[in-house]
Every structure is written in structure tokens, then in C-alpha cells.
Structure 1
């Protein structure tokens, strides 16, 4: 583990150079990794682990859509694909990758199959951090660890196939065996992390919930919608408004920011764009800072977690979700976006 200086603050970071795949394979050579859940993170993590040479099985509810998807991805019933309880019984490392609501529902089943010395692995700190609300309280004789890739399971898998890695955080909540550190790092390398940076379960879930509601999804959609509305109200066409609001950002600018940083982006755009961006960015910061402070406070109090638990546990959750997604999908902005995407050169025959 190395100390890396990030803008004046040192952090603990583990790279693939100091902890290569061969070392990870050696650490986990006698382990059976049971991936429980095949939704958002399950496919990417399990397939990457399998391709990296680890002993992996998948546990999923039989005859479900996810079970069928796992078969299509190459998992074999009775060999590498099992009903959840059988996978739990076979595994020494339980990768608990169900949704937060799913984890709450299945926890009694998981808990009864945990054996002393097992490792219980999460990719989100929700269930443990809010254990008073979720009732996910692990026994004291198992390791409780976390690897949280900073992106979707789809991105994790895609970058792995491209020979790249997606950065992940790691955390240890409980070290029952004395091997929690080497286990969590080996798993982080195995799932395809670029590098691993240290955090805690609480910090992971606080930053994750804030990010999802903030710049990753909630805030960015709000900014998109506001700018698009202003442009349309002032006579700009849907195509022009969408291109100026979303397409140029996602297709042209953000890849450059990812490669070189925002300072480079500012330095390499027109002088007119430079002046405007430098003049206006602090106004947007000052306007949104109170919202972010409120958001973080709601996350820290557990209110956002409770809202998620309450909403996701309702019987008609899926129907309500589809209604809200339909509102987004059928809005003029994203309807225009659907057309714009078909006009990209790579999508034209």
C-alpha cells in the first residue's frame, strides 16, 4: 500500500503494480467466490473474476430473468450457477451484490449460511452503514469487506475487455480472520479495478448517495433540463438546444476533461469560451452549494436511506418507477436526444 498525495492530502492507495493479478490469484487460490445477485454489479464483477482465473459461482433465484441472463453469459446450472441458498453454502467469500432492497429481503437467508472465517463482501456501504434500518448485522466471526467500483457494472466489464481498469474504493468493516486486507485487495484486483483507494463503509455510502443525487445523475439532469428549457423558450430548435446542452458535453468535452482535467479544457477552448466559463462557474457553485449541503445533511441523517427503503419496498415500486422514467424518456429534450443519437456517424448505415 502506497501513500499518494492528492492535492496536498495523502491517501492510502493500492495499485496493480504493487499487488499484481498473480498475487491476487495466490491469495484466493483456495476460496470459492459466490456472487449473489446478477443485476447491476453482478455480471461485470463475476465475469471479470472468472476471466481472471478465480473460482467463481453465481447464486440467483431460479427461473428468473437474471437466471436466464446468467445462462446466456456462460454460467452453467449445477456447475457454476446455483439457486441462492446452494451458492451460499458452497461459497467461502459471499459477494452480496443484490440491490439494497434485495439485500434487506434476503439477509435472513444469507446470515444462516455464513460460516466462521467466511468473508461477506459488499460493493455499497448501505446495508452495513444503516444497519439499524436494514437489520443487516453480520456475525462477529466473518470478515466484512467492500470494493466499490466507481461506475456501473457495465462500465467495469467494458473497460476490462478493453484492457483498462475502473478505479474502486475499498473498506474493511470487520477483520475476523486477520486476512481481511489481503482478501479485499485481491478481490478488488480480480474484479478489474484500476487502482484501489481506502475508505470506510460510511464514507462510501455518504459519497455515493450524494454523488448519485448530485453531479452523477440528479444535479446533471436538473442542469440539462434548465438550460434546455431556457434555450427553447428563446426560440432555439430542439436539435440545437439538445446539441448545445447535452451532445457537445458528453461526446466532445467530457472525454477531454477525463483525459486532461478541466484546467486543460479551459486552456484549449476559444478565448470567448474561456472568459465566459471563468466568469460563470463560481456563480453556479454558489447557487448550488446550499442544495449540496442540504443533500449531504439528509444523507448523513439517514433520511435519504429511509426514503429509498420505504419506496423500494412498496409492491408497486416497479410500476411507479416506470411512470417516472417514462416522464423523462418522453420529455422533449430526451426525445430529441434519441433522434440525435441515431444521426451520429457510427449509427448511420
Structure 2
């Protein structure tokens, strides 16, 4: 384990250089990793482990679309693809990758298969941190830990196939065997992490829920909508408004920020852009910080988790979700985006 210094604050991190794939394979050579759930994180994590030589099986309900997807991805019924209970029985490491609401519903079944020495693996701290709401309390004689890739399962898989890694956090909630650290790091490497940084279950879920509702999705959509609407109200066309709001950010600037940092971006843009950005960024910080403080409080007090459980457990959840997504999809902002994306050179037919 290495220590990195971030402006005077030290953090524990593990890189693939100090914990190479060969070491991960050795740690996991006698394990059967059962991936339960094949929706958001499941496919990427399962396929990356499979390609990395780990003995991984998938547990899914037969006759579902996700069962068929697992078959199409190369998992073989009766060999590496099983009904959930059989996978739970076979697995020595249970990768619990269902949605938070589904984890609550299946927990009694999972718990009875957590025999001494097994490991329970999460990619989210939700179920454990909010156990008074979820009822997820593991037995004391199993390891409990998490690896949380900082991105979608699709990104995890895509970057793996490109020979890259997606950074992940790791945390150990319970070390019953004395081997939890080696097991969790080995799994983190096996699923395709770039480097792994240490956290705990509470901090992981607090930061994750804040990020999803904040700059990653909720806040960024709100900012996009606000700027787009102001431009349109002042006579700018949908194309111009979308390009100045979304397209330039996502296609041009953010890749450069990811490579070099925002300070580099400020130093390498026009002097007019520099002046404006330097004058306005603190105003946006000051305007939005109270919202983020309210958001974090809502996460830390369990309000957001309870909302999520109550909403996602309803039988009509999918129908209501589709209606909310339709509002976004049908908005002029994202209809303009659909048109702009179709005009990108890579999406244009090439004439002979």
C-alpha cells in the first residue's frame, strides 16, 4: 500500500504496479466469485473478472432479459450461469450487485447462504450504512467489503477493453478471516480498477449519493437547462444554444480537463475566456454551495436513502420513471442534442 499526499492530506492507495494481476489471480485462485445481479455494474465486473482468469459465475433469474444478456455475453447455463440460490450456494465471494431496493428484497435469501469464511462484496455502501432502513446486517463470521468503481459498469468494461482502468474506492467493514484486505484488493484489480483508494462504507455512500444528485447528474442537468433556457429566451437558436451549453463542454473541454486539470484549461484558453471564467467561477460556487450543504445533510440524515427505498420499492416505479425520463427526452434541450449528435462526423454516412 502506498501513501499519496494531496495538499497535506495523506491517503492510502493501491496501484496495479504494487498489486499486479498475477497477485490478484493467486489470491483468488481457490475462490468462486458469484456475481448476483446483471444490470448496471454486474456485466462489466463479471466480464472483466472472467477475462482476467478469475473463476466467476453469475446468479440471475432464468427467463429474464438479464439472464439472456448473460448468455449472450458468454456465460453458460449450468456451468457459469445459475439461478440465484444455486449461485449463492456455490460462491465463496458473493458480489451483491443488485439495485439497492432489490438487495433489500433478496437479503433473507442471501443471508442464509453466508456461511463462515465467505465474503460479501458490495459496490455501494448503501445497504450496510443505512441498515436500520434496509435490514442488511451480515453475520459476524464473514468478510464484508466493497469496491466501488468511479463510473458506470459500461465505462468499466469499455476502459478495460481499451487496456485502461477505472479508479475505484475500497473499504472493509468486517474482517472475519484476517484476509479481507488481500481479498478486496485482489477483487478490485480483477474487476478492472486503475488504482484503489481507501474509504469506509459511510463515506462511500455519502459521497456517492451527493455526487449523483450533484455535479455528476442532478446539478449538471439543472445547469445545462438553466443556461440553455437563458440563451433561447434571448433569441439564440436551438443549435447554437446546445452547442454552447453541452456540446463544447462534453466533446472539447472535459476530455482536456480530464487529462490536464481545470488549471491547465484556464491557462490554455483565450484571454477573454480566462477573464470571464476567473471572474465568474466563485459566484457559481457561492450560489450553489448552500444547495450542496442542504443536499449533504439530506444524505447524512437518511432522508435521501429513505426516499430511494420508498420510491424504488413501488410496483409502478418503472412506469413513473419512464414518465420522468420522457420529460427530459422530449425537452427541446435534449431533442436539440439528439440532432446535434447525429451531425457529428462519426455519425454521418461516408459517400463512396
TM-score grouping bracket, smaller chain normalisation:
over 0.9
- Write out aligned runs for 1:230-241 (5 A): 230-241=230-241
1:114 shift after superposition: 1.0
Q: Which runs of 4+ in 1 moved over 2 A?
A: none
Query: Where does residue 3 of structure 1 map in the other structure?
Result: 3
Structure 1 residue runs without a partner (length 5+) = none
1:6 shift after superposition: 1.3
Query: Where does residue 310 of structure 1 map in the other structure?
Result: 310
| Structure 1 CA distance for aligned equivalents of residues 197 and 19 of structure 2 | 13
| Structure 2 CA distance for aligned equivalents of residues 44 and 161 of structure 1 | 10
Query: Where does residue 65 of structure 1 map in the other structure?
Result: 65
Query: SS of the residue aligned with 1:293?
Result: helix
1:8 shift after superposition: 1.8
| Structure 2 residue 107 is matched with structure 1 residue 107 | yes
Query: Where does residue 339 of structure 2 map in the other structure?
Result: 339
Query: Where does residue 143 of structure 2 map in the other structure?
Result: 143
- Write out aligned runs for 1:184-195 (5 A): 184-195=184-195
**CA deviation map 1:312-332 (0-9, x unaligned):** 011100000000000000000
| Structure 1 CA distance for aligned equivalents of residues 89 and 231 of structure 2 | 58
1:181 shift after superposition: 0.2
| Structure 2 CA distance for aligned equivalents of residues 247 and 87 of structure 1 | 44
- Write out aligned runs for 1:1-349 (5 A): 1-349=1-349
**CA deviation map 1:195-254 (0-9, x unaligned):** 000000000000000000000000000000000000000000000000000000000000
1:347 shift after superposition: 0.4
| Structure 2 CA distance for aligned equivalents of residues 218 and 281 of structure 1 | 19
| Structure 2 CA distance for aligned equivalents of residues 294 and 20 of structure 1 | 41
TM-score by length of 1: 1.00
TM-score by length of 2: 0.99
| Structure 2 CA distance for aligned equivalents of residues 8 and 176 of structure 1 | 33
Query: SS of the residue aligned with 1:172?
Result: strand
How much is the aligned-residue C-alpha RMSD, in angstroms? 0.4
Name the count of aligned residue pairs. 349
1:7 shift after superposition: 2.1
